[in-house]
């Protein structure tokens, strides 16, 4: 049967669509230079969008990665919206210029809810593409992105009373992306726990927690029934002194090289099943140590939406 007029044959790029042959990386706010340094070979930087030749490569400093983007020539606002709808339903605009025109195109697309996430929740499963206007008549769009969230931004319905600080949001985000959470019967260790935000998260999920810090926990966190507080250095504690844990979580302030030694000590002991650790950079970004973490088989190193000048390393064991 012949295809009806104006239908695009399957597996064929429409005539006004051109594959870029590049990948687009969205840098977190304030960290474009870190992303460029990590990628090395880049062809252009537009606002926080970094264009690099070839297929996607691992990029910890990318908040979102646009896979296989295409350039689309459009004649009007409605033409742009029609072209995007012809690819898929859900789109998120990253506006860098011609903001009014871009917003009018987005308004002609199906609405995508941006409600805050209630933790714990599974990852969204609906495809969500990203697009921008390069000029008045040129869209760049990627139907497939690395993050299921709009621009990689995971915003939560916050608990503004129980946690002692906002660091708990980092662990909420990490566990959401991990795809698995501690639960009743699990034993966790929280290194660098003070004042107790991460301990609170683990305890709320039903786990028991060994909290370790030289500084005291917030009294309300220390009083929780399944929290054992050890007031000592995370680096002086031997894995054998703690025993097996299902989750090792670490948000301690230290140089990344020191954290790597601690992680290797625990991995070699075989006493920790899963890891979530924050690499905190003091001044310059230590890309070499970040690469060493990424080289651990099975690792993920990424900049969370709630990270500052730091990365999060996750290892599922």
CA–CA separation, 160 and 196 (whole Å) = 14
Tokens (6 digits) for 40: 């090395």
Query: Of residues 78, 160, 214, 280, which has the active-site annotation?
Result: 280
**Cβ neighbours around 247 below 10 Å, total:** 24
Q: Residue 71 catalytic?
A: no
Cα four-point dihedral sign 148, 153, 159, 165: positive
CB within 8 A of 41, min separation 6: which ones? 52, 53
Tokens (6 digits) for 247: 């989750």
CA angle 43, 45, 103 (to 5 degrees): 125
CA–CA separation, 87 and 262 (whole Å) = 47
> Cis peptide leading into 219, omega within 30 of 0?
no
What phi and psi values does residue 269 have, to the nearest 5 degrees?
-70, -25
Catalytically active residues are 280
């Amino acid at each position: 049967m012949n295809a009806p007029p104006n239908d695009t044959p399957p597996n064929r790029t429409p005539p006004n669509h051109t594959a870029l042959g590049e990948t687009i990386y969205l840098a977190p706010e304030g960290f474009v230079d870190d992303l460029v340094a990590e990628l090395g070979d880049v062809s252009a930087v537009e606002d926080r969008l970094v264009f690099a030749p070839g297929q996607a490569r691992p990029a910890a400093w990318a908040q979102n990665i646009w896979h296989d983007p295409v350039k689309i020539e459009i004649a009007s606002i409605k033409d742009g919206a029609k072209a995007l709808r012809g690819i898929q339903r859900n789109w998120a605009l990253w506006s860098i210029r011609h903001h009014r025109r871009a917003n009018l195109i987005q308004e002609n697309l199906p609405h995508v809810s941006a409600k805050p996430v209630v933790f714990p929740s599974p990852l969204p499963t609906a495809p969500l593409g990203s697009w921008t206007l390069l000029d008045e008549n040129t869209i760049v769009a990627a139907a497939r992105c690395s993050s299921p969230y709009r621009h990689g931004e995971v915003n939560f319905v916050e608990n503004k009373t129980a946690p002692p600080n906002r660091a708990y949001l980092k662990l909420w985000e990490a566990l959401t992306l991990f795809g698995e959470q501690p639960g009743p019967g699990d034993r966790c260790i929280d290194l660098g726990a003070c004042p107790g935000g991460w301990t609170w998260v683990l305890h709320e999920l039903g786990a028991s927690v060994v909290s370790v810090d030289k500084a005291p926990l917030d009294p309300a966190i220390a009083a929780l029934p399944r929290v054992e507080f050890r007031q000592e250095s995370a680096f002086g504690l031997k894995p054998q002194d703690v025993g097996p844990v299902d989750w090792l979580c670490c948000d301690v302030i230290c140089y990344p090289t020191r954290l790597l030694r601690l992680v290797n000590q625990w991995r070699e002991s075989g006493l920790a099943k899963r890891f979530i650790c924050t690499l905190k950079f003091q001044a310059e970004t230590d890309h070499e140590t970040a690469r060493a973490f990424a080289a651990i088989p099975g690792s993920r190193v990424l900049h969370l939406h709630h990270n500052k000048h730091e990365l999060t390393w996750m290892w599922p064991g």
